[in-house]
Structure 1
């Protein structure tokens, strides 16, 4: 895509799932990719895969809700590769539970990963983008933040917060040359979704029922989101900001 060759991008959550698929796509497009993930081994594997394919990447193991750790890793990336031009906040976590069966420790974990983490990444990275007058940011939320999702109350609240935060940042950063958009995946083949289905015949029936409700008749795969994420980080998406894009096989239709 236009403008991605050599573009320096930090991506969170690149150790697995949607984050790994997006990191590999960005590497293939010619981006220099810095992968931030709590799973250091997985992040390193993704970076090695990018480099094995002829790309440029490095990884850092850190908690993205730890401001000092994010600042340190950001500074290390810039010292090695140069100023950050793109940010993709993909990291996320949840466990499916009815809200009344949860406790505050569970809430805190979800909020720190899914809301506080992206806030920290923005606060650290966007200062440099604003000063230089250029940047591309893509946040990955969820359709759970748009329409709700049973068993994911706190996660849905965080993702709804990211949608609202993205729109606000898009307004604040527009005159500084920084675009900020958000992707909302629908049901995707990840460990979170598998835990929702459960094991055995009952789980299989739930999965088939969900597939039948999706107009495209299949569960999303991590690779289904990488192209749109790359587009929004490229020069092709330069006139888009503050937008919420649902990618769900038609399960939810926005607009």
Structure 2
């Protein structure tokens, strides 16, 4: 398998000061969530880093030492919906990032996995938004950024649960935007293509089996087939898009989906 090389490191180019703000990032021990947590902490936010991976959170906190803002680990399984809602209370910035994936034809897709994917990737974001909004409304300012996917805008075979969850997240984000507008709260989606993460790497074998091709052909023939830019998205690129949506300059952007898809949706 040949994976395209990484892009050059992304500098913190977006001017952002979140001093005095509290941010919550789910899936913070993983690649995208980790990058978002570090970026928001660098901007001065106190970041609640939520994940069920305690060791990964500890490593994140070590890496964040010396940042302008603090990173506070919170071990939490998002299938505990009441706990998720409670965790979001008092936050000014909410980044719904946590996700999981299984690649199977619908007829072979385990119903219990479908249910879990929808719980973690759609019901939990709803409960987190629900928990965060009272504080945001009270302060007259808030930012909800949902890490969606190009699969929130397009469908692919063999990903019924993931595509359903991401399409639902896009809709939830728009409703939050409409309701939050008069309270100074924006809600948007960042919708990347395939990001260089372990989640994507773990898909390769399943994609090969589902499509009946060797694993070494999956990246070029499946993952990047519809992308004009023939490389994976870097987690830092996603984090920088999240940061931009938190800036004063982005205050009129709400109810939108920002594709980071290398031209995939231009077709």
TM-score, length of structure 2 as denominator length: 0.85
- State the partner residue of 1:78: none
- State the partner residue of 2:82: 68
- State the partner residue of 1:27: 41
Change (3 A) 1:8 1:242: same
Rounded to whole Å, the distance in 2 between the matches of 1:166 and 1:227 is 19
SS state of the match for residue 95, structure 2? strand
Rounded to whole Å, the distance in 2 between the matches of 1:151 and 1:17 is 23
- State the partner residue of 1:230: 243
Q: Structure 1 residues 151-160 or 95-104, which shifts more?
A: 95-104
| TM superposition shift of 1:52 | 4.1
C-alpha contact (below 8 Å) 1:38/1:61 kept by paired residues: yes
- State the partner residue of 2:262: 249
C-alpha contact (below 8 Å) 1:64/1:121 kept by paired residues: no
Partner deviation per Cα, 1:113-158 (whole Å, 9 max, x = no partner): 1111101101111121112221111001111121102221111011
Q: Structure 1 residues 122-131 or 167-176, which shifts more?
A: 122-131
Rounded to whole Å, the distance in 2 between the matches of 1:212 and 1:97 is 19
C-alpha contact (below 8 Å) 1:96/1:195 kept by paired residues: no
C-alpha contact (below 8 Å) 2:190/2:257 kept by paired residues: yes
- State the partner residue of 1:166: 173
Write 1 or 2 for the structure with the bigger share of helix.
1
Q: Structure 1 residues 25-34 or 51-60, which shifts more?
A: 51-60
- State the partner residue of 1:189: 196
Q: Does 1:43 align with 2:57?
A: yes
- State the partner residue of 1:80: none
RMSD: 2.1
SS state of the match for residue 111, structure 1? helix
- State the partner residue of 1:7: 21
Instruction: List gaps (5 residues or longer) in structure 2.
Output: 1-14
Aligned residues: 247
Rounded to whole Å, the distance in 1 between the matches of 2:230 and 2:134 is 43
Rounded to whole Å, the distance in 1 between the matches of 2:169 and 2:260 is 16
TM-score, length of structure 1 as denominator length: 0.89
Partner deviation per Cα, 1:206-245 (whole Å, 9 max, x = no partner): 2123446422221112122010101112222111111111
